[in-house]
Amino acid sequence: MIKSDKTAREIFEDVMANPQRVPFGFGNKAVLVNVDPQKAYTRTDLFKTAYETDPRQLEYVNQLSRGFRQLNWPVVWTHVAFLDSAEDAGVWGTRTDTPDSLQNIKYGSERAEFDERAEIEHGRDVVYTKRMPSAFFETPLQSLLVWHQVDTVIVTGGSTSGCIRATAVESLSRGYRTIVPIECVADKHESYHYANLTDLHLKYADVMPVADVLAWLESRAADKA
């Protein structure tokens, strides 16, 4: 094991400044999966379970969503919600039982609501309720991707160390090129955030500035014009 006195952020910056990894790259068609931009995780003024890394995160997510719609590519939004009994949380809901606990994000509650800043086009965008970390787990996401014949998954949302990581790893495992825009993901602590961005970039995804993703979308739109 390599030991270091550097912070997780410093290690991440070193990795990003040393482009030795061959990128997976963009494919021909992508899906945008916006993972859990709901009040329990985004409204730091309301809930102590919420967090913010880049204050413009949802602004960037909305920009990406508009770019995807312009190309008629799928935009997916997920959020977490559980039954009053919490039985659908399974063993994941057994560690704590406080008002802030995961399994107490109930259907119809404010914690389960999407952040008002998220520009969701209901009736056009796809909305899934999930109960476990990965956006793929027991949702119709895989079938949607097959229908749209996508080969690239772009993941935004939170948390970087939890649901983003789980979704990205499963995306790669299912054979998709996987992209994580840096400014579009967030976590509770910068150590978890940057450590997982580093690991994702080295193993499972292309971690890159959101500007690079937006530039790619613009180039695809120009190709179609």
pLDDT tens-digit profile of 98-124? 999 999 999 999 999 999 999 999 999
Q: What is the CATH number of the domain that holds 63?
A: 3.40.50.850
The answer to whether residue 36 is domain-embedded is: yes
Q: Where residue 25 falls among pLDDT bands split at 50, 70, 90? A: very high
pLDDT digits (tens, 9 = 90+) for 125-172: 999 999 999 999 999 999 999 999 999 999 999 999 999 999 999 999
Active-site residue, from 58, 163, 164, 184 = 163
Q: What percent of the chain has pLDDT over 90?
A: 96
The answer to whether residue 3 is domain-embedded is: no
**63 or 225: which leads in pLDDT:** 63
The answer to whether residue 186 is domain-embedded is: yes
The answer to whether residue 2 is domain-embedded is: no
The answer to whether residue 69 is domain-embedded is: yes
Decide: pTM greater than 0.85: yes
Active site residue 184: no
The DSSP annotation for the chain comes to -----S-HHHHHHHHHHS--SPP----S-EEEEEE--BHHHH-TTT-TT---SSTTHHHHHHHHHHHHHHTT--EEEEEE-B-TT-GGGGGGGSS--STTSGGG-BTTSGGGSBPTTS---BTTBEEEEESSSSTTTTSSHHHHHHHHT--EEEEEEE-IIIIIHHHHHHHHHTT-EEEEEGGGEE-SSHHHHHHHHHHIIIII-EEE-HHHHHHHHHHHHHHH-
Give pLDDT, residue 130.
Answer: 98
The residue-averaged pLDDT of 217-223 equals 95
The answer to whether residue 1 is domain-embedded is: no
The answer to whether residue 39 is domain-embedded is: yes
- Answer yes or no: is pLDDT of 225 > 80: no
- How many folded domains does the chain comprise? 1
Range of the domain at 27: 8-224
Which stretch of 15-24, 25-34, 136-145 has the lowest confidence by average pLDDT?
Answer: 15-24
